[in-house]
Structure 1
Amino acid sequence: MITILMGSIAIGLSLGVLGSGGSILTVPVLAYGLGQTEKQAIASALLIVGLISSVSSFSGIRQRLVHWPLVWLFGLPGMVGTYLGAWFASFTTGIVQMTVFATVMLAAAWRMFKPSKAAPETRSEPSNWLTGFQGLLVGVLTGFVGVGGGFLIVPALVLLSGLAMRTAVATSLVIIVMNSFIGFLKYQQVLTESQTQLNWHIIMVMTAIGIAGSLTGQRLSGRLPQQKIKSAFSIFLILMAGFILYQSLPALFPAFTL
C-alpha cells in the first residue's frame, strides 16, 4: 500500500507541477513495485495518466490556456501514432519495451536537466506538416512504451510553436489525454488476446490519489523553483533508468553480464 500511496502522489505532483513525467513514474511503480507484467503496467499507466491528466486539464481549459488549434494539429496525428505504437508493441516482448522505456527515461532526464528556454521573440512559423509529424512520432512513443510524452510535447510547443510555458503545459495535458486513451484501448485488445487481466482496484486507487496530488501540484507550481525540481527529478530518472537496464539487459542479451 505504501508503494501505491507514494508512487501515486509523485505521479500526480509531477503532472501538476511539470505537466509531464506521470507515465515515466507510473510504469516502474506498477512493473517493479507491484509486480505487474510489462504490458499490464503500460496499459494501466496509460489509463491512470489519462484519467489524472483529464482532471488536471480542466484548470487550463477553464482559464482558457489551452491552444485548441495545436491540440488538433498535434494531438490527432498523435492518436494515430499511439495506435500504431501500441499495435507494434503487440509483436515485441515486454523486455524490449522496458529497455526502450529506460532509454526514454534517460532522454527525459537530459531534457529536464537543461534550463528551460523561453520561446524566441522572432521565429519562423512551423509548417502544419511538421507539427503533425512531431505529434505522430510522440504518439508512436506513447503507444510503444506507455509514456504520455509530456516531456517532448511541452518543449515542442514552447520552442517550435511559440507558446508560453503555462499555455504549453495546459495544451500538453489535453494531448496526453487523447494519446493515453487511444493507447489504452489498443492495449485492451492486446491483453484480451493474451487473456491477461488488469487490476482495476490498483488503477482506481492510484488514479484517485494521483488526481489529489496533481491538483495540489497545480496550486504549488507557481511557488516552487521549477528548474531545481526538474534537476532533482532528472537525477531520479537516471537512477531509475539504470535499475531498469540492470533488470532488462541480461534477459535481453543472455550473454550480457553486469
Structure 2
Amino acid sequence: MEILGYLASVLIGISLGLIGGGGSILTVPILVYLFGIGAEHATSYSLFIVGITAMTGAYRHYKLGNLEIKSGLAFALPSVISLLLVRKILLPALPDVLCTVGSTNVTKNALIMVVFALLMLAASIAMIRPSAEPTQDSSPQYKSLAIMGFLIGLIIGFLGAGGGFLIIPALLFFAGIPMKQAVGTSLLIISINSAIGFAGDALGGAPINYTLLLTISGIAIVGMLIGTQLSKKINGAQLKPAFGWFVLLMGVYILLKEVVF
C-alpha cells in the first residue's frame, strides 16, 4: 500500500501544476488510506506537503509576474488567524470519541474524514460544472477578501486542505484579477497558510515522521514540475471536469467507508 501511496503522491503535484488546484484534496485520503496515518495527524502532514508544493508553484508564477501580493496578503492574514484558532483550540478540544450511536463510537478521526468527503463532493461539482470567468473589477474589495479568507481558513485548519478551489473564485470575484494571476496568488496564499499551520503543529509537539513527509513532498514537487510542463501542451480547463469526476468518486468512497462500512 505504501508503494501505491508514493505513486499516488505524484498526482498531488500534477494536479496543482496542471489545473492550479485539486492536489490538496487528494493528500489526506492518500495519507489515511494508503499510509495508514490517523486523520488528525494526516491534516498536519497535508499542510506541509501541500504548502511546500504550492510554494514551488508560487515561485514559478512570481517569475512569470502572476502574483498579486496585496490581494494575496489581504486574504492570507485573516485566514492564518482562523486556521490557527482551529488547530490550536478547536481540534485539541474535541474528544477522540465524540459520541456513541447504538454500539458504534463516532470518533474525531471519522468526523474529519466525513467532513473531508463532503468537501470533496463540493469541490468535484465545482470542477465538473463549466464556469465563466467573471468580469474583471479594477478595485479589489479588500474587506470581502478578508472575510472570505477568515472563513476559508476555518476549513483549511480543520481539514488540512489547501482550499485552492475556494480561494481562486474568491480572488476572481473580490480581487478582480485574471485567472492566471488568481491561480498564482492562490498558490502563494496556500503556501503561507500551510507553512504557518504546520509550524504551529510541529512547535506544539505533534508527532512528525519527517522522513516520510519529505519523501512524499519531494515526489509531489516532481509531480508539480511534470504538471507544469504538461500545462504547456494540454489544456488544464478541459481536464478539470475529468478530475472532478475522479474526486467525486473518491468522496463517495470515503463517505461509504466511514458511514456505512
Per the normalisation by structure 2, the TM-score is: 0.88
1:202 partnered with 2:204? no
Deviations 1:131-180 (A, max 9, x none): 10001111110000111110111111123322111111110000001111
Q: Give matches, 1:82-161, under 5 Å.
A: 82-87=83-88, 88-92=90-94, 93-121=108-136, 123=137, 125=139, 127-161=141-175
Determine helix, strand or coil for the equivalent of 2:93.
coil
Instruction: Return the alpha-carbon distance in structure 1 between the equivalents of residues 5 and 248 of structure 2.
Output: 21
Which segment drifts farther, 219-228 or 229-238?
219-228
2:234 pairs, out of 224, 229, 233, with 224
Percent identity between the two aligned chains: 35
AA aligned opposite 1:109: S
Q: Give matches, 1:156-175, under 5 Å.
A: 156-175=170-189
Residue 188 to residue 95, structure 1, CA distance change in 2 (3 Å): farther
Tell me if structure 2 keeps the 8 A contact 1:71–1:174. yes
Deviations 1:223-242 (A, max 9, x none): 21323311111111111111
Deviation (angstroms), 1:125: 4.5
Q: Which runs of 5+ in 1 are unaligned?
A: 250-256
Deviations 1:161-214 (A, max 9, x none): 221111111100000011111221233356x3xxx6222222111111111110
Deviation (angstroms), 1:119: 2.5
For the aligned residue pairs, the C-alpha RMSD in angstroms reads 1.8
Deviations 1:4-28 (A, max 9, x none): 3322110000111122112210100
Deviation (angstroms), 1:124: 8.3
1:72 partnered with 2:73? yes
Instruction: Return the alpha-carbon distance in structure 2 between the equivalents of residues 163 and 222 of structure 1.
Output: 22
Counterpart in the other structure of 2:35: 34
Counterpart in the other structure of 2:46: 45
Instruction: Return the alpha-carbon distance in structure 1 between the equivalents of residues 121 and 22 of structure 2.
Output: 12
Instruction: Return the alpha-carbon distance in structure 1 between the equivalents of residues 21 and 234 of structure 2.
Output: 16
How many pairs were matched up?
246
Tell me if structure 2 keeps the 8 A contact 1:116–1:227. no
Instruction: Return the alpha-carbon distance in structure 2 between the equivalents of residues 185 and 95 of structure 1.
Output: 25
Determine helix, strand or coil for the equivalent of 1:156.
helix
Deviation (angstroms), 1:70: 0.6
Counterpart in the other structure of 1:6: 7
Deviation (angstroms), 1:104: 0.6
Instruction: Return the alpha-carbon distance in structure 2 between the equivalents of residues 220 and 91 of structure 1.
Output: 44
1:19 partnered with 2:33? no
